[in-house]
Structure 1
Amino acid sequence: MNKKNLFLVLIIFISVFGGLLLGNIIANRANRSGFSMSSHNKVDELLSIINSQYVDTMNMKEMTEELMTDVAGKLDPHSVYIPAADLANVNSELEGSFSGIGVQFNIQNDTVMIVAIVSGGPSQKVGLLAGDRIVQVDDSAFVGKKITNEKVMRKLKGKAGTKVKLGIRRHGTREILHYSITRGEIPVNSVDIAYMIEPGVGFIKVSKFAMTTFSEFLDAIAKLRSQGARKYIIDLRENSGGFMDQAVNMVNEFLPAGRMIVYSKGKAYPRAEAKSDGKGSCINLPMVVLIDEFSASASEIFSGAIQDNDRGLIIGRRSFGKGLVQQQMNLSDGSAIRLTVARYYTPSGRSIQKPYEKGKAQDYEMDIVKRYMHGEIDSKDSIHAAKSPKYKTFGGRTVYGGGGIMPDIFVPRDTSEYTPYLNKVINYGYLYQFAFQYTDQNRAKLKSQKNWQQMDKYLDTQNLLPQFVAFAKSKGVNPDARQINSSKRFLLMQLKSYISRNSIGDEGFYPMLYKDDKTVKTALEQLRKK
């Protein structure tokens, strides 16, 4: 998104159930908009009758929550009701920070494993280490099959200044170590990595468009420029969106003055336009954008603006197709609704939103599965059919509507190394589990590798594949020599990338992961051309 920043705007309009919670204020707005209060009264009346006269006692709060969810679900795929209990976590996905202890964790063997410590965070200050196991929280045991990610988050996150006690098991230490940690503000980064992928070319991966994305992006540009970057790859793959203004500000860095970036309009939402001001830092620098089927919303605003202004190449696969603008409106009980108030359009006039039927969210969500089933991900997209509406870019090129952004250069998913063995070890998480175990048992040696290049060379000498095959066998996955050999390159790439991340962070993960990535290689080939 969230990542990711997943992007939005202003305007208030609530229908049907709104009067139930906001009374006369919403009633007045409803009357002004032509909404009949009789429908509201019927809902209110029905709930009152059920509460007072139904044969059994009903949980009216629960029934009201279900009603809110059902009504929002009948609007469009992206309008959603958010219960009060979930609102803080939902909002934190796109905020610039949250309060907690500053660790990345994973649950393995019914135990919370600390994968990484946030630099400068509360956990680092008290001495927690990557590899530590959390076995107690506030003097109570915290292990077992009932431990979930949600339960861990509820225990570790909290208001800044509050304390939590942890009991820690550490490799090589017999006794449980006890720590009292004062929660603090933990930054949520949306620019995952910015590094020189080859001389003169800077690579920036943006995972979501959050409140701080644009400032993070400017820092990344400044860092790479100081290292000699004169061309850029902007990776928006799997970026599900966020705040629209952050995407607009990012696009502005690449466009000359007066170019349309995006416009939006809706029934109660007057047309609003965003145009470039010509003050960007990268107006004349070559660039490409990477997208895939999970790039959505603000990612598509960015990609569409770059493509329609003929500013750079879009490389990858057709994006998700989410072109609806939501505004979050808080309700009186602490809950909220994210209501679709407008559609947004690329500079050429394309509506990015893919088709949907109201009230059929499940069919809409299955669209990605359908793309995989009919081969769109693996062979060149068929969206260029005669029925697809055509549009012209700033320079006169033809681009296509119909949902999502069609890349200028299509790169199919690489299935040449897929085998049943690979699918099984991925689906069960054994690659990740082995990488954590290997890192945990070899931290001293791995710590001496200062960057991903050194780590890559070192791990090539460690005979990782036979060790992993033995590990997977111990978990019940019988080895198949032919399948393992077919998937060898992918298995080793994944193992080395995860081990590198566990030891030196994202600076070790993404460069290792993308070293042989076909979409990245295609981008580099294009940037090497004049």
Structure 2
Amino acid sequence: MNAGKKARIWLPLWVGVGIALGIFIGSRYSQFGRSGNIEGSGKIDAVLNYVRESYVDTVNMRQLVEDALPNIIRELDPHSEYISATDMRRVNEDLEGHFSGIGVNFYVLRDTIVVTGIVPGGPSEAAGIIHWDRIVTVNDTLVAGTKLRNEEVMEKLRGEMGSEVKLGILRPGDDYLREIIVTRGDIPMNSVNAAYMLTNKIGFIKLGKNFGFNTFSEFISAISKLKSQGANSFVIDLRGNIGGSLDVVVAMVNEFLNRGDLIVYTQGRNFPRTDSYANGSGTCKEDDVVVLIDEFSASASEIFAGAIQDHDRGLVIGRRSFGKGLVQGQRNFPDGSAVRLTVARYYTASGRSIQRGYERGRYDEYEMEAINRYIEGDYVNVDTVSNHLTPFQTAGGRTVYGGGGIMPDIFVPRDTVGINPYYNMVVNNRLDEKYAMLYSDMNREKLNSFDTWQELYRYLQQQPLLLNLVSFADHNGIRRRPYYVQESSELLENVMYAYIIRNFFGEEAFWAAYQKEDPLMKKGIELIETGKTTHQSIVDEEYKLN
């Protein structure tokens, strides 16, 4: 390849980088603060002018910036990021805990949108839509049979608050379309997935994927509900929770700590240390607590687990967490996009940083760590990473480690029994979920007759669901593997029971059924019932965690 061809290939990239940098630090975005006299900015201005005046082709400057900015910001560290205006709307919905829509849960079954749940008091309930209705048209446009993805369905059903959407509804048993007009309203996005009693005295709270602005109020409601049912101990499940609002997690930890206990502190080059303390108003200060974490628990969920651990307030069990301890500040652009820039690190009460190591610019390796840990056996064997980390001391003198996520007090390996190539193919192609939905739809009258999810669970155990799933999978290109089917039978049956139960009894019942035999849940119950989660037991020198 000659020099001229190389120049033509690389020139658009460098132009994009130059433009993006110029716009990012330039005066046109003065709401970011004073730009100052930044070394090298003259070169950027010169490049921008040169491109504007002399580049051979017309350049779509806006699109070039949108394409270049994510890569530029990402060069700083793994968690600084540029968020486009479109993505920012989704991010805000997750944090704010609500969106404007029609208020239904749905599943795309055989290219048809099937309503699987109605938000109580929401717009669809008011308009007369019911469970198992089929949405055939949206504003007179046919959507049935068009192979829409979930994201496309949501885009069609969501819209401005107060706007109307006309739906063509086919109700099972009807031979005609009903025209129903729904006025979009505010729809809550729950971040507490489940809150129910494990025993007569132990309550369970399952957090969703993040900490949003409504999470604390939901958390308090869950605690109040469980206490009214007799709970004096809690299992808090933070597995898979990727974090969120720092203020929210501080408020949640406050429920368990005594006045003056340090929860977390943040500190950065231009951000002086800021401490967050418990104020003593918590409602669970005398209650035993177990926190469940795994390799996907990150950021705010690590702050929660770290605070409980550092004050010897409860036990953290599971597997080493993700290790995200960088604090992002956000600045917004006029078009609705934003930059989230790492401005500080957060530290637990013992002084440890949770952030695991990374090498600037080599973030593919950083993101692959979860997979690499799986390959190396960290999920089934006690993680030895502590050999390379800095030790710190809890309030009671126990050793904990910083710089690599939260190490659990008690390691519980990932349950790999039954996970084999056949199981992975079925689950990765979501055939277990698809068959569960198909079975639910075909047998909805019978399955809807049960009063409790436990009754439905017992009924499902008597049905040939596994044989039917195997036939369904075979029909969808995954051939029968009798040995593997037998090996993974309990896993496949359990997840199908849970999916079917969700279709009739909702999200909380799903988690209760799905985690019925969960080893971490069982370990948490055992620790509480044997008195191992009291403050005295935790700091007792004779009690060695393993």
| Kept after mapping to 1: 8 A contact 2:422/2:485 | yes
Tell me the TM-score normalized by structure 2.
0.90
Instruction: Trace 1:462-501 onto structure 2 (pairs within 5 A).
Output: 462-501=463-502
**What secondary structure is seen at the aligned counterpart in 2 of 1:505?**
helix
| Kept after mapping to 1: 8 A contact 2:74/2:81 | yes
Report the equivalent of 1:20. 26
Deviates more, 1:306-315 or 1:143-152: 143-152
Deviates more, 1:405-414 or 1:139-148: 139-148
Give the distance between the partners of 2:152 and 2:188, measured in 1 at CA.
21
From the superposition, tell whether residues 381 and 42 of structure 1 become closer, same or farther in structure 2 (CA, over 3 Å).
same
From the superposition, tell whether residues 497 and 395 of structure 1 become closer, same or farther in structure 2 (CA, over 3 Å).
same
From the superposition, tell whether residues 140 and 402 of structure 1 become closer, same or farther in structure 2 (CA, over 3 Å).
same
**What secondary structure is seen at the aligned counterpart in 1 of 2:286?**
coil
**What secondary structure is seen at the aligned counterpart in 1 of 2:414?**
coil
Instruction: Trace 1:299-318 onto structure 2 (pairs within 5 A).
Output: 299-318=301-320
1:251-286, CA deviations, whole angstroms, 9 ceiling, x for partnerless residues? 111111111100000011110001111221110111
Give how far 1:332 is off: 2.5
- Does residue 82 of structure 2 align to residue 77 of structure 1? no
- Does residue 237 of structure 2 align to residue 231 of structure 1? no
Deviates more, 1:451-460 or 1:303-312: 451-460
1:341-364, CA deviations, whole angstroms, 9 ceiling, x for partnerless residues? 110001111100111122333221
1:238-258, CA deviations, whole angstroms, 9 ceiling, x for partnerless residues? 011110111111111111111
Instruction: Trace 1:35-434 onto structure 2 (pairs within 5 A).
Output: 36-144=37-145, 147-207=148-208, 208-385=210-387, 387-434=388-435
Tell me the TM-score normalized by structure 1.
0.93
| Kept after mapping to 2: 8 A contact 1:115/1:502 | yes
From the superposition, tell whether residues 15 and 528 of structure 1 become closer, same or farther in structure 2 (CA, over 3 Å).
farther
Give the distance between the partners of 1:295 and 1:373, measured in 2 at CA.
19
Give the distance between the partners of 2:96 and 2:362, measured in 1 at CA.
30
Q: What is the letter of the counterpart of residue 57 of structure 1?
A: T
Report the equivalent of 2:446. 445
Deviates more, 1:54-63 or 1:478-487: 478-487
Give how far 1:143 is off: 4.0
From the superposition, tell whether residues 154 and 494 of structure 1 become closer, same or farther in structure 2 (CA, over 3 Å).
same
**What secondary structure is seen at the aligned counterpart in 2 of 1:325?**
strand
**What secondary structure is seen at the aligned counterpart in 2 of 1:93?**
helix
Report the equivalent of 2:523. 522
Give the distance between the partners of 1:507 and 1:252, measured in 2 at CA.
25
Give the distance between the partners of 1:194 and 1:25, measured in 2 at CA.
43
Report the equivalent of 1:29. 34
From the superposition, tell whether residues 156 and 41 of structure 1 become closer, same or farther in structure 2 (CA, over 3 Å).
farther
- Superposition RMSD in Å: 1.8
Give the distance between the partners of 1:131 and 1:294, measured in 2 at CA.
34
**What secondary structure is seen at the aligned counterpart in 2 of 1:501?**
helix
From the superposition, tell whether residues 15 and 324 of structure 1 become closer, same or farther in structure 2 (CA, over 3 Å).
farther
Q: Percent identity between the aligned chains?
A: 48
Give the distance between the partners of 1:173 and 1:230, measured in 2 at CA.
51
Q: What is the letter of the counterpart of residue 209 of structure 1?
A: F
From the superposition, tell whether residues 48 and 66 of structure 1 become closer, same or farther in structure 2 (CA, over 3 Å).
farther
Give the distance between the partners of 1:310 and 1:15, measured in 2 at CA.
47
**What secondary structure is seen at the aligned counterpart in 1 of 2:116?**
strand
Give how far 1:155 is off: 1.2
Give the distance between the partners of 2:27 and 2:125, measured in 1 at CA.
44
Structure with larger RCO (C-alpha < 8 A, sep 6+): 1
| Kept after mapping to 2: 8 A contact 1:101/1:122 | yes
| Kept after mapping to 1: 8 A contact 2:266/2:273 | yes
1:167-195, CA deviations, whole angstroms, 9 ceiling, x for partnerless residues? 23333322233221110000111111100
1:316-359, CA deviations, whole angstroms, 9 ceiling, x for partnerless residues? 00000010111221112321111111100011111001111223
Give the distance between the partners of 2:247 and 2:466, measured in 1 at CA.
46
| Kept after mapping to 1: 8 A contact 2:169/2:177 | yes
**What secondary structure is seen at the aligned counterpart in 2 of 1:29?**
coil
Give how far 1:371 is off: 0.8
Give how far 1:150 is off: 2.6
Question: Would you say how many aligned residue pairs link Structure 1 and Structure 2?
Answer: 511
From the superposition, tell whether residues 174 and 473 of structure 1 become closer, same or farther in structure 2 (CA, over 3 Å).
farther
| Kept after mapping to 1: 8 A contact 2:167/2:181 | yes
Give the distance between the partners of 1:453 and 1:41, measured in 2 at CA.
70
Give how far 1:136 is off: 1.5
Give the distance between the partners of 1:16 and 1:218, measured in 2 at CA.
47
Give how far 1:529 is off: 0.8
Give the distance between the partners of 2:31 and 2:225, measured in 1 at CA.
50
Give how far 1:41 is off: 3.9
